[in-house]
A and B are shown apart, each in its own frame.
Chain A
Amino acid sequence: MAHVVLKDLVKTYGSFKAVNDVSLTVNDGEFVALVGPSGCGKTTTLNLVAGLTSITSGDIVIGDRVVNDLDPKDRDIAMVFQNYALYPQKSVYMNLAFPLQMRRLPRDEIDKKVKEAARVLDMTHLLERKPRELSGGQQQRVALGRALVRDPAVFLMDEPLSNLDAKLRVQMRSEIKRFHQDLKATIIYVTHDQLEAVTMADKMAVMNGGFLQQYDSPAQVFAHPVNMFVASFIGSPAMSLIPLEISTANGGTVLTSAEGWSLGLSPRNVQKVTKATTKKIVLGARHSTIKLHKSAVPGSIPAKVYTVEPTGDVTFVQAFLSGAIVNVSVPPNIAVTPDERIWLEFDQERMHLFDGETEMALEAS
């Protein structure tokens, strides 16, 4: 296993910058998820690491080698593709053996390794089949096995679960996580599904528009998103973002809405908003940090219910507030109906405040 370092990585296609100055370090044995919406540059970044795409500028280090100009085959990596990319004309056995054959290993050693990988992944009985005779989950496993037999320095995975159905995806998610824990493998995992990133990765790199937005542990990213993009991308349902303005009332700093109501702030939050470059502030709150009241209580804000989505153990209520839609979760025994008038109370400790101009998170000091 090895660590991976990306240094000022840039990839341009004509005038389009697909990857823009991305720098990050993946430590030995770490599981890092590259996550972001489609077109954010995450797959391009992975292809740059794999050597399938040539870099425009910057450096890629795998282990202690700068691999910028090495062919994919010389980078000591293994990759799992979204569509599995199993060789259709080869049996499962030959699919697993191919990377070893290319390395000119002796036949009996290949046989031993293939059988060992098949045993680990519980597919010994499938070895003679062709990929098209396998189910999606089995194909996925073979793809994983083909990466596994090689014992590479780094595993690269490009949305390996997105072609599976929902149930299988959850199952494979824990299998891959287990596989990482057992092998202590260095894994770079690309996904557009923030839930996969949050549940599996040691660290997640959130990307948007070719830029690395934030690189930290899922817990940190969740609790302290650096900007509005990360805040709204991570977490489901998405964090509610409400545009407000700073003003003074009764000698204190409050946030006022175009709708007329105003929200008092705790001293710490007042400290935060004074850092803003403009009067415009965006208030961010996750569904679980907002309290729903059926009648006005001090500090609460009036809103109108838009939709109610019961999921069984929790009910999600969407409400209109100052032109934004706010997600609130309530216990299933609370009956709320669309168009009902409700009052929302924000948790001062757990609310996020963003600069309305720069979209960056505001910190106390």
Chain B
Amino acid sequence: MSTIAETGSRRQTRSSMRVDGWRWAGRIFLLLMLLYTAVPMIWMLITSIKSGFAATQFPPQWWPDEPTLASYRKLLDPQNSVGQDFLRFFWNSLFVSTATTILSVIVAVPAAYAFSRFTFPGRNFLFFAVLLRNMFPAVIFLVPLFILMRAIGLVNTHGSLILTYLTFGLPLAIWLLKGFYDNIPVQLEQAARIDGATRFQAFIMIVMPLSTPGIIATAIYSFIGAWNEYIYAYTFLSKNDQLTLPVGIQRFFSENTTDFPGLMAASFMMSVPVVVLFLVLQRYFVRALTEGAVKH
């Protein structure tokens, strides 16, 4: 009896040791990944509070001798020409991204709902046609879209970017949201319609609240995509006062000698809205990605 118990416990120890080994390997791997992703950002932050001279020193100062917020002050100062430009780029980016997000939600919600709930001729074809755009690298469409934008007189307007970003963002948004609507039992709407709601009321009062996480996730995707986009913004816009942040930062700081602390401060501030958005809404975001993966 005791021998059996001993053998059992020994076997258990060995297997738990093996599990522990894997667990530690996993932890070390995660730690390395963390360093890999976090160190550049930390370095960006540290550089942004250095003076211009300290930033280019070798060997580098791991922590600046004289930390300074001068770069930030300069960027956020509306009196300063650098600050004027930066703030204008920031607002341009915010405008383009927000407009893209709002429009893509407005279009994607009814589109996804229709794909999920209605059967109509060409439904499958249309649904895959929506994805066709995402099967090619974005750059392929650069020249055709530029020619198109020139033809309709949208070059050098934010409208050209908003339209372009919608063509990237919408397919994904529609797919994501359709998955959400597929997961909401159609009986809920039927129950609402029997309980006295019109079809539209059933959608607004029952389906919409349930799909909020999906809509938020979709909105974040669209926003981040538009906020970070570089190539199209670089191609379609040439007037200084219209540039968005990714292009603006690059143009501004590499004209003569590069002001590295300034560049890093600007980069940091550019990432702030995305990070804040993500932190506030990540709960919904994660749920959206896993929703529909399994049947509950």
Contacts and interface: CB of A to CB of B under 8 A. Distances in A.
A167 to B, nearest CB: 23
Contacts of B210: 88-89
Candidate in B190, B198, B206, B210 with the most chain A CB atoms within 10 angstroms: B190
Given A88-B210, A89-B209, A89-B210, A83 B185 contact: yes
B191 interface: yes
A102 B196 contact: yes
Given A87-B206, A88-B210, A89-B209, A81 B190 contact: yes
A52 B190 contact: yes
Candidate in A77, A99, A102, A150 with the most chain B CB atoms within 10 angstroms: A102
Contacts of A99: 195-196
A79 B190 contact: yes
Contacts of A65: none
Interface string B190-221: 11111111100100001001100000000000
Interface residues of A, number: 23
A150 to B, nearest CB: 8
Interface string B169-205: 0000000000000000101101111111110010000
A340 interface: no
Candidate in A52, A75, A82 with the most chain B CB atoms within 10 angstroms: A52
Interface string A183-223: 00000000000000000000000000000000000000000
A102 B195 contact: yes
A79 B191 contact: yes
B191 A85 contact: yes
A45 to B, nearest CB: 15
A172 to B, nearest CB: 18
Interface residues of B, number: 16
Nearest to A87: B206
A98 interface: yes
B contact patch SS: helix
A contact patch SS: loop
B72 to A, nearest CB: 43
Contacts of A29: none
B190 A72 contact: yes
A67 to B, nearest CB: 13
A103 B190 CA distance: 16
Contact of A85 (B188, B197, B201): B188
A102 B192 CA distance: 9
Candidate in B192, B194, B195 with the most chain A CB atoms within 10 angstroms: B194
Contacts of A73: 193-198
B189 to A, nearest CB: 9
A23 to B, nearest CB: 24
Interface string B97-131: 00000000000000000000000000000000000
A281 interface: no
Contacts of A150: 195
A228 B289 CA distance: 52
A146 interface: yes
A78 interface: yes
Contacts of B206: 87
Contacts of A77: 194
Interface in A45-85: 50-52, 71-73, 75, 77-79, 81-83, 85
A50 B194 contact: yes
21 contacts: A50-B190, A51-B193, A52-B194, A73-B194, A73-B195, A73-B196, A73-B198, A79-B194, A81-B187, A82-B187, A85-B185, A85-B188, A85-B190, A87-B188, A87-B191, A88-B188, A89-B210, A98-B192, A98-B195, A102-B196, A103-B196
Nearest first, the 5 closest Cβ-Cβ pairs linking A and B are: A102-B196, A99-B195, A85-B187, A85-B191, A72-B193
